[in-house]
């Protein structure tokens, strides 16, 4: 048994253990050159030789033999039959040609023998002495033969090669199957295993397999390619890393890596999504991770957004005046750039990027960058930068920027700017609209300081930004001859400095941002300028911010053992939630934007997504959660007005909410194909009010904040209840209450085909939530004190008859269920047409947006049993089954015991997952019915959705805050099994197979908990003596002591 922190190392064969990679390359070249010359004779195709660098490394290296043949031939636009593995070498098939290569390889092997890499074999022997398990995984079917020829077969405890892959039908690289099987054979955990590879497809497989370390060997000068395709570390020879390097990685490198995301290339097609994921912020503001030298355009989009800052514009579109309220991209505080001599300023998209590494340090809230660029005449310049948004002082952002000439000496000009000369242009589909949201109010500066005040064109909010610059030459402070320039929408500082080769020029740019409607701010420009006096260097901003982040992480961190990727991505999601809404939001009148402070999608508006997000804040930052609820309370009168305008009582909150609480959803939609206007029924998603009531109740339930309920929360719940009661109609024939003209969470169903106006009837999710709401409002009415009840009766003219009606609705609302126990999504759902899902998948591949596919075919999703996301099943995301069963019981409904399993199976196969929120809901339900494999697959898809930008580029427009929060909650509520819907914290753990444990803290009912959930026990600390429930059994917990259950 090893005392090291890792258990196994799985080696690739060719190019890692044995020097057979060049033998393979030579065999491939001999075979392909012969074949290509044969095609020249047969078909007149010009012969172009097969090369090691251009063809072997790119198309063949590391792949199974037949896949390599197929890949290379496709690159030459040659298409032949696949054939069968036992095809004769005379046949012109993929398999036949692959077998020719094997024949050539065996001849070379027989004549030349096999050499090994001595450093690799030496390391293997050291590892074995330390008790580390050793395996070999290779695509080659000659693996066993090669090992025997080299005399090293006995070094490996398991061998998974091309022969084994064929027998077990394993997928070849870049899939991880051969490596995971090797680990399974050894009985070791993937996260405690190192994979060693020299091929791009191999490190891709290693990254997909979620191994503890993927080591790339760059024997072909391909270090960069290995790094950007999944290698954690790249060396030229394994002797350069050694046992000490492996130990160090598993001791501290792996932990450090779990706190960061890193990009080692500059990919124009992925840049906007990366800018989103590299955003820094503090709840008051968010700044996208665009590079300092970049400008808004097709590739880059710098943006800074302030919580709650909106502006309206009226645009003429296809003959109609359309008003939209947008999330304003304020003054760009980032710009820093340089030029060499009198040449043009550096252009990131025209200069050559020789190397780049950008790393978001989530633990400390720092975005770091190292880059080397080269101009058109070969001059190379290194750039190093750091930036932060202070988590200590929400108005302060700062960056440190260093340039160093690497192969030249010259005068360098440096400029740094504040720019408001842009429009909102972060979402392509909004570009036809008027997006000019800023006008200049004042601009200027002197010496090393400058300021820029902009004003929103309609809402009249002044945003003032001030900057102080500090300059350093080789770390020594100096005062250059600053030149300040200002004009409409722009303030700039320039200076020039001579730099010798390898000397460095650094600036610290410290920036403050205030707006005129910030609490207590009379003159935002004066406030911004004065705020800079507190800081004399970048580090003076950095250190208190890092300390503030430490306090936050001490509160929110989740630790996973057994899953490296989940650990990193859960921290990424926690980080971005804090960027969006933090403890600073206690003082901000804003909701939680569905797309964060990261971009302009959904115009920064507030949706029902808060239902997914708010539980995180109840558990960690209840005062911030209360502030978000107060955002809704301050707009209660607007919701009352909205209800009255539509003929209803109470308060009807808007589907999209922005600055003042009016409905921001468009009611008309322009069809870009036909050019005609049609009705947009999105605003009929009235269930947003139910989400608000759900959040109010749960805030109280988690926090015991009765004062909030008596002063604010109860008033909102009553008004929302009044709205829904006024929307119900009693059917004397059925003896049930119906709700018509609404939409459920599934946005594919807006209306009935035979009805002109929008909405559907008796949406099950809506009706169950209404029954719950009215019941909870009545329950809460009894909890508040008599004085509060009397005040509400007087203020709201509340009558006993209303309360009685609510109770009646709670007991009699209509729920449609078929004889199998399937809950109808809405009245008439079972009569809709079925969709041929396999046919559509085969035809279109990605069918997430089945609504668009059907409309393009001249059909309507309203006619089909197809859902964008969980609708009926959303009920079970909100409540445990016991709660839902209680609602059904009060309605006099009896369902079969397995109704949840049946409903999940029924609706899952009819859902396209066109929303990022969809899979997280289904993952939770699959966990509830103990289908761990399905639950994990759906959860993993949700967990990686923004990181891999699976929605076709939408991450570039902003994060999906709802799914990020959902992945956090499913980790602790489904996998760790935490249930806070009862009087005591309850645990029913159901960890994924590969998770060994999960650790996290939370607050519930004025008690602070920290727990560690393992497969066989729970360790728990509590701030006071209390009880918890574990697998249905009540257990007593002593305070400030580790309790093991």
Phi, psi of 587 (to 5 degrees): -105, 10
The rounded radius of gyration (Å) of the Cα atoms in the chain is 31
Which two three-digit tokens encode residue 590?
């804003």
Tell me whether residue 747 is one of the annotated catalytic residues: yes
Distance CA 158, CA 177 (A): 14
Q: Please tell me whether the peptide bond between 174 and the residue prior to it is cis, using omega within 30 degrees of 0.
A: yes
Bridge partners of 136, per DSSP, are 11, 159
953's torsion region: left (phi>0), alpha (psi -120 to 50) or beta?
left
Instruction: With CA atoms as reference, report the closest residue to 627 among 552, 721, 712.
Output: 712
Cα–Cα distances in angstroms (integers) from residue 983 to residues 450, 619, 695, 878, in the given order: 56, 15, 17, 17
Distance CA 59, CA 50 (A): 11
Which two three-digit tokens encode residue 794?
């007087």
Distance CA 303, CA 294 (A): 11
Distance CA 202, CA 10 (A): 11
Place of tokens 């948004």: 389
Identify the H or E element spanning 454.
strand 449-456
Instruction: With CA atoms as reference, report the closest residue to 899 among 830, 822, 825.
Output: 822
Distance CA 450, CA 442 (A): 11
616's torsion region: left (phi>0), alpha (psi -120 to 50) or beta?
alpha
Bridge partners of 401, per DSSP, are 385, 507
Annotate 624-637 with b (16+ C-beta within 10 A) or e (fewer): bbbbbbbbbbebbe
State the chain's maximal CA–CA distance in angstroms.
Answer: 100
| Three-state secondary-structure class, residue 984 | coil
Instruction: With CA atoms as reference, report the closest residue to 858 among 594, 1032, 674.
Output: 674
**Residues 778, 807: contact at Cβ < 8 Å?**
yes
Distance CA 613, CA 611 (A): 6
Instruction: With CA atoms as reference, report the closest residue to 555 among 713, 397, 701, 391.
Output: 391
Instruction: With CA atoms as reference, report the closest residue to 275 among 298, 257, 254, 256.
Output: 298
Active-site residue, selected from the candidate residues 664, 747, 750, 802? 747
Which two three-digit tokens encode residue 214?
């993927």
| 639 burial type by CB count under 10 A (0-12 exposed, 13-18 middle, 19+ buried) | buried
Distance CA 855, CA 421 (A): 39
Instruction: With CA atoms as reference, report the closest residue to 139 among 204, 194, 224, 88.
Output: 204
Identify the H or E element spanning 689.
helix 687-703
The DSSP code for 19 is T
Start-to-end Cα distance in the chain:
28
Bridge partners of 1029, per DSSP, are 986, 1034
By annotation, the residues acting in catalysis are: 747
């Amino acid at each position: 048994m090893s005392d090291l922190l890792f258990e196994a190392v799985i080696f690739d064969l060719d190019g890692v253990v044995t020097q057979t990679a060049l033998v393979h390359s030579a065999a491939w070249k001999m075979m392909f050159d012969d074949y290509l010359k044969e095609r020249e004779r047969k078909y007149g195709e010009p012969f172009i030789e097969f090369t090691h660098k251009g063809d072997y490394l790119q198309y063949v290296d590391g792949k199974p033999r037949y896949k390599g043949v197929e890949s290379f031939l496709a690159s030459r636009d040659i298409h032949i039959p696949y054939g069968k593995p036992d095809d004769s070498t005379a046949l012109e098939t993929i398999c036949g040609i692959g077998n020719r290569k094997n024949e050539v390889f065996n001849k070379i092997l027989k004549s030349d023998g096999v050499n090994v890499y001595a450093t690799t074999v030496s390391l293997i022997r050291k590892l074995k002495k330390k008790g580390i398990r050793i395996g070999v995984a290779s695509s080659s079917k000659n693996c066993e033969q090669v090992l025997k020829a080299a005399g090293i077969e006995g070094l490996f405890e398991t061998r998974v090669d091309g022969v084994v892959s064929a027998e077990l039908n394993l997928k070849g690289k870049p899939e991880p199957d051969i490596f995971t099987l090797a680990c399974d054979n050894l009985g070791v955990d993937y996260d405690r295993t190192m994979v060693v590879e020299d091929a791009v497809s191999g490190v891709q497989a290693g990254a997909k397999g979620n191994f503890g370390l993927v080591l790339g060997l760059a024997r072909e000068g391909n270090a960069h390619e290995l790094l950007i395709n999944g290698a954690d570390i790249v060396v030229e020879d394994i002797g350069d890393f050694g046992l000490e390097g492996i130990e160090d990685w598993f001791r501290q490198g792996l932990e450090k890596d779990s706190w960061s995301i890193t990009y080692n290339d500059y990919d124009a097609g992925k840049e906007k999504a990366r800018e989103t994921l590299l955003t820094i912020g503090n709840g008051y503001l968010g700044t996208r991770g665009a590079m300092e030298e970049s400008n808004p355009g097709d590739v880059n989009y710098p943006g800074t957004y302030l919580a709650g800052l909106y502006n309206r514009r009226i645009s003429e579109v296809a003959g109609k005046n359309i008003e939209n309220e947008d999330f304003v991209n304020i003054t760009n505080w980032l710009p820093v750039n340089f030029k060499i001599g009198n040449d043009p300023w550096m252009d990131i998209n025209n200069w050559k990027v020789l190397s780049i590494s950008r790393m978001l340090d989530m633990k400390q809230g720092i975005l770091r960058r190292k880059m080397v660029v080269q101009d058109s005449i070969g001059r190379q310049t290194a750039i190093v930068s750091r930036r932060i948004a202070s988590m200590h002082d929400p108005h302060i952002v700062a960056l440190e920027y260093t340039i160093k000439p690497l192969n030249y000496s010259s005068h360098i000009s440096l400029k740094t700017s504040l720019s408001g000369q842009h429009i909102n242009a972060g979402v392509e589909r909004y570009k036809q609209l008027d997006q000019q949201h800023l006008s200049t109010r004042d601009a200027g500066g002197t010496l090393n300081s400058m300021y820029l005040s902009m004003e929103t064109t309609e809402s009249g909010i002044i945003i003032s930004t001030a900057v102080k610059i500090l300059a350093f030459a080789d770390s020594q402070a100096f005062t250059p001859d600053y030149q300040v320039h200002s004009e409409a929408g722009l303030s700039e500082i320039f200076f020039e400095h001579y730099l010798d080769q390898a000397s460095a020029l650094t600036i610290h740019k410290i920036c403050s941002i205030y707006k005129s409607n910030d609490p207590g701010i009379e003159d935002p420009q004066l406030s911004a300028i004065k705020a800079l006096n507190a800081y004399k260097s970048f580090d003076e901003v950095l250190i208190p911010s890092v300390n503030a982040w430490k306090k936050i992480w001490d509160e929110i961190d989740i630790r996973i053992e057994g899953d490296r990727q989940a650990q990193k991505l859960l921290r990424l999601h926690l980080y971005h939630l804090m960027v969006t809404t933090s403890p600073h939001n206690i003082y901000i009148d804003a909701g939680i934007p569905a797309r964060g402070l990261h971009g302009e999608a959904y115009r920064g508006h507030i949706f029902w997504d808060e239902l997914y997000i708010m539980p995180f804040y109840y558990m960690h930052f209840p005062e911030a959660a209360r502030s978000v609820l107060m955002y809704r309370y301050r707009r209660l009168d607007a919701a009352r007005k909205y209800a009255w305008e539509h003929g209803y009582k109470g308060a009807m909150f808007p589907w999209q909410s922005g600055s003042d609480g009016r409905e921001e959803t468009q009611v008309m939609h322009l069809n870009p194909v036909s050019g005609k206007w049609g009705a947009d029924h999105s605003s009929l998603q009235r269930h947003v009010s139910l989400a608000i009531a759900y959040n109010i109740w749960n805030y109280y339930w988690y926090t015991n904040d009765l004062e909030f309920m008596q002063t604010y929360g109860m008033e909102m719940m009553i008004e929302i209840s009044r709205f829904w009661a006024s929307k119900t109609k009693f059917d004397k024939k059925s003896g049930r209450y119906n709700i018509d003209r609404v939409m459920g969470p599934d946005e594919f169903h807006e209306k009935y085909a035979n009805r002109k106006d929008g909405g559907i009837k008796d949406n099950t999710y809506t009706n169950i939530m209404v029954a719950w709401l009215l019941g909870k409002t009545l329950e809460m009415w009894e909890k508040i004190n008599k004085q509060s009840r009397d005040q509400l009766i007087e203020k709201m003219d509340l009558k006993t008859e209303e309360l009685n009606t609510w109770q009646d609705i709670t007991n009699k609302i209509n729920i449609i269920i078929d004889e199998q126990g399937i809950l109808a999504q809405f009245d008439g759902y079972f009569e809709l047409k079925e969709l041929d899902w396999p046919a559509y998948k085969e035809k279109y591949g990605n069918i997430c947006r089945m609504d668009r596919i059907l409309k393009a075919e001249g059909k309507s999703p309203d006619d089909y049993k197809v859902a964008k996301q969980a609708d009926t099943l959303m009920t079970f995301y909100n409540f445990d089954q016991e709660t839902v069963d209680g609602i059904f019981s009060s309605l006099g409904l009896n369902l079969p015991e397995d109704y949840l399993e049946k409903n999940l199976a029924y609706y899952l196969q009819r859902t396209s997952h066109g929303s990022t929120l969809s899979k997280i809901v289904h993952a939770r339900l699959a966990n509830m019915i103990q289908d761990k494999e399905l639950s994990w697959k759906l959860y993993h898809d949700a967990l990686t959705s923004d990181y891999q930008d699976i929605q076709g580029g939408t991450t570039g427009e902003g994060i999906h805050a709802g799914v990020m929060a959902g992945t956090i909650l499913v980790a602790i509520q489904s996998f760790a099994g935490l249930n806070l819907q009862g009087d005591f914290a309850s645990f029913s753990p159901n960890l994924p197979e590969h998770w060994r444990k999960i650790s996290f803290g939370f607050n519930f009912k004025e008690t602070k908990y920290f727990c560690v959930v393992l497969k066989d026990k729970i360790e728990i600390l509590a701030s006071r003596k209390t009880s918890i429930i574990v697998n249905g059994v009540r257990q007593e917990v002593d305070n400030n002591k580790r309790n093991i259950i």
